[in-house]
Amino acid sequence: MPGTAYLTRKTLTLSRPATDAISVPYFLMRVLLSAAFLFPAFFGTLSNCVAQEVSFQRDIRPLLSDRCFKCHGFDDETREADLGLHLFEQATRDLGGYQAIKPGDAAASEVIERLISDDPDEVMPPPKSNKPRFSAAEVALMQRWIAQGAKYEQHWAFEKPVRPEVPAVADSTSAHAIDRFIDNDLASSGLRANGKAAPHTLIRRLSYDLRGLPPTVPETDAFLAAYASDPVKAWENLVDSFLASPAYGERWARDWLDLARYADSNGYEKDRPRSIWPYRDWVVRALNDDMPYDRFTIEQLAGDMLPNATVDQRVATGFHRNTMLNEEGGIDPLEFRYLAMVDRVATTGSVWMGLTTGCAQCHTHKFDPITHTDYYALMALMDNADEPEIEVPVPGLEKRRAEIEKQMQAMEAEALAQIDEARYQEWLAGQKASRTRWIALPPTSAKSNLPLLEIQPDHSVFASGDFTKRDVYEISLDLSAVGDEPVTALRLEALPDPRLPAGGPGAAYYEGRKGDFFLSEVTARVDGRPVSFAGASVSFGKISVGSGEARGSNIYDGDGSTGWSTSSQEGIANELVVQLSEPISKGGQLEITLLFERHFVAALGRFRISATTASSGGAANSSHTPDPFTASDPDLRRGYTRVAPEFESYQIDYDSLKKSLPEFPTSLVMQERPAQNPRTTHRHHRGEYLSPKEKVKAAVPAVFEPIREGDSANRLGLAKWLVSDRNPLVARVAANRAWSAFFGRGIVKTLGDYGYQSAQPSHPELLDWLAMELVEKGWSMKHLHRTIVTSETYQRDSKVDSLQLEKDPDNVLLSRGPRFRLTGEMLRDGALQSAGILSSKAGGPGVFPPQPDSVVELAYGGAGDWKVSKGEDRYRRSLYTFSKRTAPFAAYLTFDGPTGESCLPQRDRSNTPLQALTLLNDPMFHEAAEALARQTGSGQGTDPVEPGGVIEVLFRRVLIRPPTTVEKSEIVEYYEKQRTSLAAGELKTEMIMGDKTLATPELAAWKMVARVLLNLNEAITRG
Amino acid sequence: MNESLRQLTRRHFFHDCGLGLGRIGLASAMAGGFGNLARAAVSNPLSPRDTHFGPKAKRVIFMFMAGAPSQLELFDDKPKLRELDGKPIPPSVIAGQRYAFIQPNAAVLAPRFPFAKHGRCGAELSDRLPHLTGIVDDIAIVKSMKTDQFNHAPAQLFLNTGHGLPGRPAMGSWLSYGIGSEADDLPSFVVLKSGGNLSGGAAMWSAGFLPGSHAGVPFREAGDPILHVSNPAGFDNQAQRDSLDLIRKLNERELGTVGDPEIQTRIDAYEMAWRMQSAAPELMNFADESPATMELYGAKPGDPKSAYANNCLLARRLIERGSRFVQVYHSGWDHHSQVEAGVTAQAREVDQASAALVKDLKMRGMLEDTLVVWGGEFGRTPMVEASAALGRSMGRDHHPQAFTMWMAGGGIKPGVTLGATDELGFNVVEDPVHIHDLHATMMHLLGLDHTKLTFRYQGRDFRLTDVHGHLVEKILA
């Protein structure tokens, strides 16, 4: 375990000599020491002032990676002097009588010459690179490494983890594996481990960590009592009960949603709302059910591709639908789809591989072994999906829907049975006499600029795949179906289809209404001769986004900005009929070109072209009754009951039933594309969307073992590979993320980067032990969490003394318990819970807790987008707060909450005056303070309440611990002063109190005290 | 003990009490091998940072004309367009370009207004900018701006963060990270806004991957200028101070027991919050401004019609009080239809106050070390935009290939016009200035080498200028 060894055994005991050795002022050195894990390249030098075997992994690669690989690394496009220092073979090859590195002979190694050269043209790294020169100590290190044979080693993270042996530590008090690893390093550091934290601290720590909430007073009392008799048992029981709490899934879902860049709006300029909360609820459920992490992964990446995929498994694929959607007018939709793919590659890399793939979007990664082609090969694995929205049946609603549908069927059957045959036949004859007889023309071919056009058995054409904002369809139709009569008019039916957005007929999925289309121009030719139009009619016409009219004649006026659209009638068939200037007699092949041109995708998704030979030419029929010539008998009868006057009351009843059908919520999912329309993925020069180069074959990066034979090179294959032992990183990354949640920093500090540039792990063996524990215990996250929190290390007191601060300010060695500020979400949830007003309602659409209008006013849509929720929804857990990307809930953002714009492996934990202003002055926290004050009983009874008792209640609710005598007296002093001012009218009770019915000076003063408590560092911190 | 704790811990100086206060570009200092930059910082972590070299400007006011003003109606007269008015633009010119709304066969639209030369420098401006003509010898006009993005949100993000997608730090955040703050009671990076909604959204003043305390602080148009900067309902200053005193007392006791220096940082943050509470009303109260100054800007506190003028004056007050970067957004320049009426109305809203800001800074001796920048996210097409479906006519679409910005003060050569476009105003033909070049130049004026101010994130050293950016020497004084 190299990383730890050098820090603990050497660095911490050699500060003075080391600083002298590399000529850094002592004071600066002290500061730098603490940053050792941030900048291993620099600190690699420190350890080597004491002779020992030089390790490539620990000492050399960080130096080379930081200062040399940019020009002498993996990227052969930018490699200078054709020299690579990243591989032994390259670094040691003959350069014409000399070698950059000559193993065993530092003096004959050119690289050393270059490092120490005074010639600005010779010295490496060159001055213009802005890279620091190698210090004398670093050069010495290089020399010793070469002298010792210049051994190269694989980067630790690319080696498969093996479960290390748990060290036996003489003075460890614990048999717990985690403690053995931690104490082993601690033993040599000269630091003594803190004892166990006080029980009220422990329950608060565990409660926030496992549930994201403070414990209640009864929970605390029960635990303290149990702890007094059997601390170990009490702790285990507490851990089990918290792990089993539904709040567990809500707390851990937040961390996962940071990675998933979850939000309830589309992002970019318009940032309109989207419905993907069923995915969020899926995550909560999966975590509460302790779904094994491998399955958790596979379902989110490729749930739709599992055999007999359930709706739940499809909803899980929302993970990669959390990318943003640009609805700004006039964007190139495929460019933003490409950018979403870039995001998916980056996110997959961060979450499951701990790799920063971003560099390889533009060129071969300079620091990690990922080539430019590897990057697009990885993209190709995920690229072959459509992105539909599906209905998510909710059990209660599903039942209700089925009941209503059954009623509707019964009602319809009854109506059909009541048809008076004579009247029906009379109606039918009338229909046949008045309606135009259309003959559907069988398409012989259907081509487009991009979308896949497929001819359906009913002679309609179905479009799928990718669309642009200017699509052109070319359809060839066989006129022989018409017979010998001349064709006088053509009809285009815009047809609904459940596969289309909002049921079609259009393919619009952003900016315009979903399912919208805009037919700009139609041209026709018969056997190569142009056909001209002499009038048009439509069954319905309306344009979305804009003020233009949707007349039928727009489609042959030569102006692409006018056209036909049936906006607002999504899911309904409509038709356009054009009269021909001259009838087509005895035609052969009819060629129709349809142009769809708007500032958003607006092609038709399903349509059919028919012809008539009626001498009148016919007109569009807007009755929506079935075609009397082609429809089936039952359909016609059904159509009759829909219009016949004697069925009026049935029509009203039927329609109102139909209206009462509850709608299912929808969610965004991935859906593998059909075999006939695979998407090809290209390498993009410099990562630019407009510069696609050669096609790439889907694969995992070549540095890893490939996808197992038998698994396909697709999303499912990738998902399975990611959680297989062929990916050496997945378990380490997952375990490290969990560790970081409990300890405030990861064993590898950079939670999203385990590559060559990442910080060395502080406890590499422990990391591997945790990783293997996760894998071997069935990928159970709850087991991993239980394992961590039952260690002594986790339960240590978080007090810090000056020796600890000096030697280990960041608590890397964990001689003390972890302390860190709570997240904004936890602060709000904690305040509501302490105040007794937190709602336990789980799941459902995002809610809108109160915040100043001015927050959302800054966003494009303005403040109208934030209508504060009423009742219980005002007090829901923060996980359920509507997450608007361009105007995130202010209180969370102020505390470093996510925007949902990209994967966030690690939140910052800043400490700013704006946070102070929020906690001090945000009405939301005042509301909590008031409710908290009411919990004391003050102001509500007739009995005077003893201040000491009130303070006791407030402390136990907020800080969990009881107050000290001194604290009590300080608070009483403050309370009395404020109460006196309030009673004297110097402060206005009724202004301070939100609920004017309870406006006593006492309660107002207690509210002020409660607010102070919510602002204490102790309340904000999980200690 | 508290002082020694503060001295000792890195956490204090990595996670100090924010607002960009006293932050060091540590990653870049590390990469640069601990020169003077780092040493100065360590000796006094709360002071403003040293720059890479002597700065010409100490602060920036960026008047961001969101929506993209038409350069053809304001700065870049094209007689050839008048000649070709109504005729289709040659296909060879437009081939391969992507546009947001128009189709490639659109006709040419002549500039709508007369142009004339002004000042000693003889810079050409349209008659829509009568106030700017008065300071034309104090500014540098760049007619050869270029950007990569042709839609608002990506282009606004690009101009603010050097990248077309959300997630990168804003210019102001880089500056805060690079050279710290001079204000101890107001934010260093402030965002002011008027005229409507912004396409790029909050990502434009986000700190991106830099520590969150470098984020821009948006001042709100209604209610508290800084969120929650006023006392809560019913609290007078005494009650607020009493509460803070109790919080402080209890926090100090915790610090004594627990010893975590982060607690001291929290105590400091609360004290700074208190100072902000008193500084903000003073800042927002224009009563101490002379009537002449108010008139110069056309500022009328509380009048929504003067929102931009008020913000320009507020920007000056902010930089007087130590803010480093004030972003003044004014929306409403997106003239897809009726560009003539649109530009007329918008210019009337901004011309006087924009010019007033430069005049005022000059009178106060602040122009020499304040960099002023004026412009939008891209330009507008020489072709007309018209669309029946959208009800548009006589407008112009987005044009990233060529547009105009102007700059003044802090190291900018006054009275010059840089760059030129072709006779159709379609492409830049002389001295192109890409957004990355603008950023590099701004950083340079602030004493920072844009290639050296880096932050390591996800295994890579990021810069405001990515791997691009050239200094625009010709506009340096």
Do residues B304 and B388 both lie within one domain?
A: yes
Tokens of A1006: 């207690």
Do residues B301 and B275 both lie within one domain?
A: no
In Å, how far are A134, A570, A583, A607 from A493, measured between CA atoms?
74, 13, 20, 5
CB within 8 Å: B269 and A913? yes
Alpha-carbon distance of A687 to A358, in angstroms, equals: 10
Cβ-Cβ contacts under 8 Å, B8 against chain A = 30, 805-806, 809
Cβ-Cβ contacts under 8 Å, B9 against chain A = 34, 805, 809
The C-alpha angle with vertex A556 and arms to A555 and A560, in degrees rounded to 5, equals: 60
Higher pLDDT, A519 or A31: A519
Cβ-Cβ contacts under 8 Å, A204 against chain B = none
Cβ contact B144:B428 at 8 Å: yes
Interface test with chain B among A336, A1017, A1018, A1020, by most B beta carbons within 10 Å: A1017
In Å, how far are A495, A571, A625, B125 from A498, measured between CA atoms?
10, 8, 20, 57
Interface test with chain A among B34, B165, B244, B335, by most A beta carbons within 10 Å: B165
Q: How many residues does chain A have?
A: 1023
Predicted confidence (pLDDT) at residue B11 exceeds the cutoff of 90: no
Q: What is the residue-wise DSSP string for B321-358?
A: TT-SEEEEEEE----SS-HHHHHHHHHHHHHHHHHHHH
Predicted confidence (pLDDT) at residue A999 exceeds the cutoff of 60: yes
β-pairing, A666-668 vs A389-391, is antiparallel
Contacts 24+ apart (CB under 8 A), B419-422: B419/B142, B419/B143, B419/B144, B419/B145, B420/B143, B420/B144, B421/B76, B421/B78, B421/B143, B421/B144
With an 8 Å Cβ cutoff, is A15 touching chain B?
Answer: no
Do residues B275 and B315 both lie within one domain?
A: no
Distance from CA of A170 to the nearest CA of B (A): 29
Nearest CA in chain A to B4: A802
Domain layout of chain A by residue ranges: 2-153, 196-244, 292-392+670-726, 436-620, 921-1022
Tokens of A754: 């385990």
Cβ contact A643:A625 at 8 Å: yes
Spatial neighbors of A107 by CB under 8 A, at least 6 apart, are none
In Å, how far are A184, A724, A1004 from A194, measured between CA atoms?
15, 39, 41
Q: What is the residue-wise DSSP string for A224-249?
A: HHHHHH-HHHHHHHHHHHHHHSHHHH
Rounded to 10 degrees, the C-alpha dihedral A128/A129/A131/A135 comes to -60
CB within 8 Å: A987 and B16? no
With an 8 Å Cβ cutoff, is A753 touching chain B?
Answer: yes
Higher pLDDT, A43 or A102: A102
Nearest CA in chain A to B153: A269
pLDDT range class, residue B48, cuts 50, 70, 90 = low
Alpha-carbon distance of A168 to A164, in angstroms, equals: 12
Alpha-carbon distance of B172 to B23, in angstroms, equals: 13
Q: What percent of chain B has pLDDT over 70?
A: 90
Cβ contact A1023:B258 at 8 Å: yes
**What is the model's pTM?**
0.88
pLDDT digits (tens, 9 = 90+) for A239-277: 999 999 999 999 999 999 999 999 999 999 999 999 999
- Sign (positive/negative) of CA torsion B197, B199, B200, B202? positive
Predicted confidence (pLDDT) at residue A848 exceeds the cutoff of 90: yes
Query: What letter does residue A739 receive in the DSSP assignment?
Result: H
Residues of chain B by 3-state class (helix, strand, coil), percent to 5: 40, 20, 40
- Sign (positive/negative) of CA torsion B408, B409, B413, B415? positive
Does the residue B170 lie in any domain?
A: yes
Which SS3 state, helix, strand or coil, does residue B190 take?
strand
Alpha-carbon distance of A84 to A73, in angstroms, equals: 5
Question: Mean pLDDT throughout A72-97?
Answer: 84
Q: At which residue do the structure tokens 């260093």 appear?
A: B188
Does the residue B301 lie in any domain?
A: yes
Which of A27, A986, A1011 is facing B243, going by the closest CB pair? A1011
CB within 8 Å: A809 and B9? yes
Domain count, chain B: 2
Max Cα-Cα span within chain A: 110
pLDDT digits (tens, 9 = 90+) for B225-234: 999 999 999 9
pLDDT at residue A93, rounded to an integer: 87
What residues 763-822 of chain A have any CB closer than 8 A to a CB of chain B? 798-802, 805-806, 809-810, 819, 821
CB within 8 Å: B201 and A599? no
pLDDT range class, residue A21, cuts 50, 70, 90 = very low
Alpha-carbon distance of B445 to B410, in angstroms, equals: 7
Predicted confidence (pLDDT) at residue A550 exceeds the cutoff of 60: yes
Choose among A788, A797, A964: nearest CA to B260.
A797
Which of A131, A750, A888 is facing B31, going by the closest CB pair? A131
Distance from CA of A1012 to the nearest CA of B (A): 6
Spatial neighbors of A57 by CB under 8 A, at least 6 apart, are A2, A153, A155, A156
pLDDT at residue A546, rounded to an integer: 85
Choose among A673, A601, A595: nearest CA to A335.
A601
Mapping DSSP onto H, E and C, the string for A314-350 reads HHHHHHHHCCCCCCCCCCCHHHHHHHHHHHHHHHHHH
Higher pLDDT, A469 or A864: A469
Exposed (0-12), middle (13-18) or buried (19+): which is A233, by Cβ within 10 Å? exposed
Does the residue B204 lie in any domain?
A: yes
Alpha-carbon distance of A902 to A881, in angstroms, equals: 18
Mean pLDDT of chain B: 88
Do residues B97 and B180 both lie within one domain?
A: yes
Q: At which residue do the structure tokens 């102007």 appear?
A: B406
pLDDT at residue B24, rounded to an integer: 32
pLDDT at residue A52, rounded to an integer: 66
Spatial neighbors of B347 by CB under 8 A, at least 6 apart, are B74, B128, B129
Do residues B232 and B206 both lie within one domain?
A: no
Alpha-carbon distance of A271 to A860, in angstroms, equals: 7
Exposed (0-12), middle (13-18) or buried (19+): which is B303, by Cβ within 10 Å? exposed
Of chain A, the end-to-end C-alpha distance in Å amounts to 29
pLDDT at residue A322, rounded to an integer: 98
E strands in A798-867 = 820-821
pLDDT range class, residue A943, cuts 50, 70, 90 = low
Cβ-Cβ contacts under 8 Å, A963 against chain B = none
Does the residue B422 lie in any domain?
A: yes
Segment among A73-87, A703-717, A799-813 with least mean pLDDT: A73-87
Cβ contact B459:A758 at 8 Å: yes
Query: What letter does residue B23 receive in the DSSP assignment?
Result: -
Do residues B215 and B230 both lie within one domain?
A: no
Distance from CA of B376 to the nearest CA of A (A): 16
Residues of chain A by 3-state class (helix, strand, coil), percent to 5: 45, 10, 45
pLDDT digits (tens, 9 = 90+) for B218-256: 998 878 899 999 999 999 999 999 999 999 999 999 999
Torsion angles phi and psi, residue B125, rounded to 5: -135, 155
pLDDT range class, residue A59, cuts 50, 70, 90 = confident
Cβ contact B344:B332 at 8 Å: no
pLDDT digits (tens, 9 = 90+) for B155-204: 999 999 999 998 899 999 999 999 888 888 999 999 999 998 889 888 99
Does the residue B41 lie in any domain?
A: no
Cβ contact B434:B147 at 8 Å: yes
Do residues B382 and B345 both lie within one domain?
A: yes
Cβ-Cβ contacts under 8 Å, A561 against chain B = 386-390
* Structural domain boundaries enclosing B250: 226-284
DSSP H or E stretch at residue A795: helix A792-795
Distance from CA of A404 to the nearest CA of B (A): 40
Do residues B200 and B327 both lie within one domain?
A: yes
pLDDT at residue A941, rounded to an integer: 63
Cβ contact A742:A794 at 8 Å: yes
Q: What is the residue-wise DSSP string for A358-419?
A: GGGGTSS-SSSS--HHHHHHHHHHHHSEE--EEE---HHHHHHHHHHHHHHHHHHHHHHHT-
Tell me the ipTM for this assembly. Answer: 0.87
pLDDT at residue B47, rounded to an integer: 44
Question: Mean pLDDT throughout B401-428?
Answer: 96
pLDDT at residue B146, rounded to an integer: 97
Choose among B373, B318, B281, B360: nearest CA to B191.
B318
Tokens of A615: 């001498």
With an 8 Å Cβ cutoff, is B390 touching chain A?
Answer: yes
Segment among A8-17, A159-168, A645-654, A842-851 with least mean pLDDT: A8-17
Tokens of B370: 């304040």
Do residues B117 and B244 both lie within one domain?
A: no
Choose among A923, A980, A974: nearest CA to B242.
A974
- Half-sphere exposure in the Cβ direction for B136 (13 Å, CA): 19
Do residues B134 and B153 both lie within one domain?
A: yes
With an 8 Å Cβ cutoff, is A955 touching chain B?
Answer: no
Do residues B392 and B455 both lie within one domain?
A: yes
pLDDT range class, residue A997, cuts 50, 70, 90 = confident
Spatial neighbors of A993 by CB under 8 A, at least 6 apart, are A930, A999, A1003, A1004, A1007, B234
Which SS3 state, helix, strand or coil, does residue B473 take?
helix
Q: Report which listed range, A68-77, A181-190, A512-521, B454-463, is most confident.
A: A512-521
Do residues B178 and B275 both lie within one domain?
A: no
